[in-house]
Every structure is written in C-alpha cells, then in structure tokens.
Chain A
C-alpha cells in the first residue's frame, strides 16, 4: 500500500511570506496528524484531525498557522505570515482507526517538508 505522501519536499521563503503544505494519508486512515520538528528536537504535535474534525489543536499557533481536512482525506497546513522560527520539518502522520483523542495506534509518517524561512 502507498505510504503517507507530502509535498513539497523543500521550501525556502522569506519572512512574512505565506506557505502551504499538503498531505495525503494512507488510504482509509481516519486520523491525521501534523507535527513540527525543529532541528535537534523531537516532533511536536501541531494539530490532530479525526476524519474532517479537529481533535487537538492546543499547540497550533493560531495567529499564523491554519489547517484543514475538508473531505476527511487529504489535508493542508498553512503559515501566514512566516517567521524565522518557523524553519523546521513539517511531518504528517496517519493512523487507521479513529482514536477518540487517544494516540495508541501506530503512527505512519510521511517524508516531511523542510521549510527554511530567511
């Protein structure tokens, strides 16, 4: 089966510009996660969707970050405007079953999008 797909793989922008990332989870996976991984650190959850509803967005900087999963399949994460500290790898992951907020299922990760903000 195909894995989690993400695009673009790399993006370089200037501060105050906007950027969007796309994720297509494994077919049939109900739960989708966006993580931010800053160099030298572990991934940090930004937002979790179950089908097309938000389960957890407590760590999403909502003044500049937004995400949607309109049809319960693929998802888009947007940053507007970008800051220097947003430079990181943005990882998308998915799990098969609805988790009702519990992260006990094995998470399958995409290859990530490397963002550099100059």
Chain B
C-alpha cells in the first residue's frame, strides 16, 4: 500500500511564527487531504488538495503530485493552531491512508 511520511514529527513555535509541514507519499495519488486534530481529539478537514495550491485564511497548501509531496503552510501561528496535523492520501478506489502526523505546539 501507499506509504505516507510526515515531517517534522514535532514542532514547537512561538505565537506569531510561520511554519511549513511536509507530507511525502510513495505512489501516485488522486486524493490528498490535510486534517487538524485538536488537543481534544476532534479531527477537522482543512483541505482537499490532490494537486495545485489552495488558501484558507492563514493556512495554505500546495501539492506537487508528480514529485509526490504536499506542503501545509501556517502563517502567524496562534495557540489554537496547536494539535496534530495529518496528511491522508488515496488512489482510485483505495481507502484513505493517514500519515503519522506532525505535532505542533504554539507557545504564547
């Protein structure tokens, strides 16, 4: 099956800083989603982005499908951005495969 690697595994930043999270995948995909899991465990879909670039407020994402990676950018971090960020991918009729996540901690 598809392997999904996320980096870095942990990231600690001061409030207001910018960050870049990376997702590498081992095979072709036509579905890539970014999720945020808050400290209480709730998973929220951030982007559906199998290719190209999208922006939503302080968050943006870029997927380069031909090079098998995606990046999630967070600008002007806030404490509410803390949590774990997951990348999940699939191809065709296959189920979503989640990465192991990047744990982001924003310090006031």
Contacts and interface: CB of A to CB of B under 8 A. Distances in A.
Interface in A59-118: 59, 89, 91, 93, 100-104, 106-109, 111-112, 114
A106 B35 CA distance: 10
B95 A111 contact: no
A105 B56 CA distance: 18
Given A40-B100, A112-B41, A106 B33 contact: yes
B14 to A, nearest CB: 25
A43 B98 contact: yes
A40 B88 CA distance: 15
B90 interface: yes
B86 A104 contact: no
Interface residues of B, number: 24
B92 A102 contact: yes
B42 to A, nearest CB: 6
A42 B93 contact: no
B88 A42 contact: yes
B42 A107 contact: no
Contacts, number: 55
Interface string B90-103: 10111110111100
B96 A102 contact: no
B100 A56 contact: no
A103 B90 contact: yes
B45 interface: yes
B100 A104 contact: no
Given A109-B44, A111-B40, A45 B96 contact: yes
A17 B86 CA distance: 32
A29 to B, nearest CB: 14
Nearest to A106: B45
A103 B42 contact: no
Contacts of A43: 43, 86, 98
6 closest Cβ contacts across the A-B interface?
A42-B98, A109-B43, A101-B93, A103-B96, A45-B95, A104-B31
Interface of A: 40-45, 48, 56, 59, 89, 91, 93, 100-104, 106-109, 111-112, 114
